[in-house]
Structure 1
């Protein structure tokens, strides 16, 4: 099993001048305290003494212990990371390890084990943490996805068997992803293959074929749809939930959803629990919930939509989106 290369970022113990000088900041104090308490470092890779399933299960539990950071903390850590603060780089990366798992899962069954894909993705995550510029006004998780995917695609190109992606094509795919995200923000819609072709200097046919390597995404801002019998968790967990690693991730997601619900008003949280069938409840229709709470079906729909919007915009929104990315 491959291990994450010990880059300068991951080898350093934070003894640089920048790290010492930042020791008095909230970010550095938090990082040091949590690191000593937990005595784990998922960035170091998996336990090679365990079988893959057990190692993965343990890794996912370890990752779940790291809390997300606020936008303010993200900016503070990003500024420190740019100055070479290794503690800040590590804390910024650890707070986003869940995201790497979700990205790596999209590239399973292509000749490289999931654990190896995660480790390669972590290399990209650390690289992103070192290069992240918080002044650009982009969330770290949005910036990091390109580095994570490029690292994973490079691993598939070198090690994969069923699908081999030349390294130059892996770079092309990363460029397509970057330009696609930029155009989406500019145009407020999905760009066409022709539009992507103009900004990437690649043919529309090549772009279409390369994008088939990237499985479809489910996002928090996707429409709810007409069906009222879907559970919230099912929107973020793959249909092949019987796989051991997906079962574990499903449990982590359930915990994340429940934690996120505690940030809502009591009534809003109750509406979502009833509507999506959480905490042992069965799924209820909008009309059923309205009858229970003594309000109209339309009012329940408004409460549901407001609650989902608050989840997306709140601190736990990035956690949920990391499973959906």
Structure 2
């Protein structure tokens, strides 16, 4: 079965390599046709010319829990959404815009499949620091610190503090935690300096 899947993926990769990449002007023209006229052929051309981008991004998320083919399929959904939403007059290349949609689609699929998501090292450090400072402030104030107080203490923007707070409230799946019980992200990320 795995050999059949890899042969199918190999054929798919050969097929997408045969499609030429688009110039900036071609991207704009096709996008305008899609946006203003709902041009199905232009839509297909945009999608086909960017399938290699999906494969490239999917390889970055490759893990034992999901096959590359599954990741590519999910990324293709993100690519299709990007083609529909892209504004050719926004001053950004389509590939830059599409990468975000592709990654979001892949990440969502991994979450739904219960696969761990890579958290960047800087964010792990920030979350760890947040936990430590939050505990200190709670001891000092006699109550949980507000997001604004945390932002000030950590010397980060209020917006970034809100994002970290949301991350801490995110609930992991049981397959990520191993215990079968839901835990917050803050419980999952260990704090090497936490002695409690």
Q: TM-score under structure 2 normalisation?
A: 0.60
Distance 1:100 1:87 in 2: 20
SS in 2 for 1:51: helix
Partner of 1:203: 164
Partner of 1:65: 18
Q: Does 1:114 align with 2:75?
A: no
Gaps of 5+ in 1: 1-47, 174-192, 208-325
Distance 1:138 1:203 in 2: 28
Q: Does 1:104 align with 2:58?
A: yes
Q: Deviations over 1:36-84 (max 9, x none)?
A: xxxxxxxxxxxx9x71110111111001000011111110011111121
SS in 2 for 1:69: coil
Which has more helix, going by share of residues?
2
Partner of 1:305: none
The within-5 A match list for 1:140-179 is 140-161=94-115, 163=116
- How many residue pairs match? The answer is 133
Q: TM-score under structure 1 normalisation?
A: 0.37
Partner of 1:52: 5
CA contact (8 A) 1:121 1:151 kept: yes
Any runs of at least 4 consecutive aligned residues in structure 1 with deviations exceeding 6 A, and if so which?
none
Distance 1:195 1:81 in 2: 41
Distance 2:161 2:34 in 1: 30
CA contact (8 A) 1:128 1:143 kept: yes
Aligned pair partner of 2:32 in 79, 83, 102:
79
